[in-house]
Amino acid sequence: MTSHDDSGGTYPAGRALVAAEAAGDEMTVEGALRPRTLDELIGQSRVRDQLGLVLEAARSRGRPPDHVLLAGPPGLGKTTLAMIIAAELSAPLRVTSGPAIQHAGDLAAILSSLAEGEVLFLDEIHRMSRPAEEMLYMAMEDFRVDVVVGKGPGATAIPLEIPPFTLVGATTRSGLLPGPLRDRFGFTGHLEYYEVDELDEIVRRSARLLEVQITDTGAREVASRSRGTPRIANRLLRRVRDYAQVRADGVVRQDIAQAALNLYEVDEEGLDRLDRAVLDALCRRFGGGPVGVSTLAVAVGEERETVEEVAEPFLVRRGYLARTPRGRVATPAAWRQLGLAPPTDVAFGQAPSLFDDDCGAGEGNAG
């Protein structure tokens, strides 16, 4: 069984979704769990209200809305919102990402093939190449690009009209976007981490779609360990469901959720193996910092981006880690989390930096 997706595609529902789940098709499952309209979206009430107004005004004018920038940590719903924007406008959606656009020509090819009113979703927009970015400025403002033909002194720029479209850019690092690009978005939605109550609702909705039996306390347990992130909530739900099926009667009760999440090393606060490894390296190996994020990433055997975009925002939010101009610093709470006494001889954040390798651009996003 399939249901129609407002952007023209189909998505599995009911038994078909359960079958995709059973086949381990995570992308299909994740896609099918996405809310399809602003009304279906749980949480993010501020962005929902603001965006709702932008879209309604555009609809009443019969014109594409201003370009939209969605900023926030991974897994909070940027892709979901881009799909909702297209669906609410009854417009087709084209999906691409910054890393896929390395040359201005790549972007010109996409832009010139857009239909009037189409929504172009550009994920990880901060990772686009500079020449493509410059081409995008003109496209966003004037719905026109200059395609350069030839090289050297003989090169000529051929102006190319493009139909009015709406760009939806998504970024986990809005601080890295150049001012001229940021200024060309008429609306910026800052996605916030979700409250436990909202995640609770998301978990119960996903459980319904996946035909997982879950008790209220079971859902609460999953929600409270999901570190404010719907993608994590959905993932943990699938893991506790596995556990409930294999080790119990299939019903996700609180004790089952606790046992499963303990097995997967997700603690009561939602800290996982990577979070603990970061805190452990920071406190035990680097004396609480300050230490550069690249050094920290090497110490835990992860990519810098993963530490910076996945672990850090949550640790900062929980008050375990601070980003200072001199590097990352463990707070007294971090030491206590690891069962260690915070050092008393060094004022918080004032120690000389051990490895000031990367306190430049990336630090601009602190907080």
Ligand X SMILES: Nc1ncnc2c1ncn2[C@@H]1O[C@H](COP(=O)(O)OP(=O)(O)OP(=O)(O)O)[C@@H](O)[C@H]1O
Residue 278's alpha-carbon distances to 99, 101, 204, in angstroms, are: 27, 32, 31
Q: Per-residue contact track with ligand X, 214 to 253, x per CB under 6 A?
A: ----------------xx--x-------------------
* Cβ distance to ligand X smaller for residue 89 or 232: 232
231: annotated active-site residue: yes
* Number of separate helices (H) and strands (E) present in the chain: 16, 11
215: annotated active-site residue: no
**In the complex, least distance from residue 22 CB atom to ligand X, rounded to whole angstroms:** 18
Show Cβ contacts of residue 219 under 8 Å, excluding neighbours closer than 6 positions: 200, 203, 204, 207, 252
As to burial, measured by CB atoms within 10 angstroms (0-12 exposed, 13-18 middle, 19+ buried), residue 188 is: middle
Query: Which candidate in 6, 106, 188, 231 is catalytic?
Result: 231
User: Which residue's CB comes closest to ligand X?
Assistant: 77
Query: Which candidate in 94, 123, 227, 229 is catalytic?
Result: 123
Query: Which candidate in 36, 94, 127, 172 is catalytic?
Result: 172
Nearest to 243 by CA among 271, 262, 229: 262
**In the complex, least distance from residue 72 CB atom to ligand X, rounded to whole angstroms:** 6
User: Does 204 participate in binding ligand X (rule CB under 6 A)?
Assistant: no
DSSP per-residue string spanning 78-101: HHHHHHHHHHHTT--EEEEEGGG-
Binding residues among 252-311 for ligand X as defined by CB under 6 A:
none
79: annotated active-site residue: yes
Residue 212's alpha-carbon distances to 15, 158, 206, 242, 256, in angstroms, are: 12, 57, 8, 10, 13
User: Does 80 participate in binding ligand X (rule CB under 6 A)?
Assistant: yes
Question: Token digits for 181?
Answer: 């690009």
Binding residues among 115-144 for ligand X as defined by CB under 6 A:
123
Tell me whether residue 151 is annotated as binding.
no
Q: Count of CB atoms within 10 A of residue 150's CB?
A: 9
Of 202, 209, 271, 330, the one binding ligand X (CB under 6 A) is: 202
How far is 42 from 337, CA to CA, in rounded Å? Answer: 31
* Cβ distance to ligand X smaller for residue 134 or 312: 312
User: Does 52 participate in binding ligand X (rule CB under 6 A)?
Assistant: no
How far is 146 from 7, CA to CA, in rounded Å? Answer: 30
Query: Which residues does the annotation place in the binding site for ATP?
Result: 33-34, 75, 78-80, 141-143, 184, 194, 231
The contact set with ligand X (CB under 6 A) reads: 30, 33-35, 41-44, 74-80, 123, 172, 202, 230-231, 234
Residue list for the binding site: 33-34, 75, 78-80, 141-143, 184, 194, 231, 304, 323, 328
Q: Which residues are annotated as a binding site for DNA?
A: 304, 323, 328
Catalytic annotation, residues:
78-79, 123, 172, 231
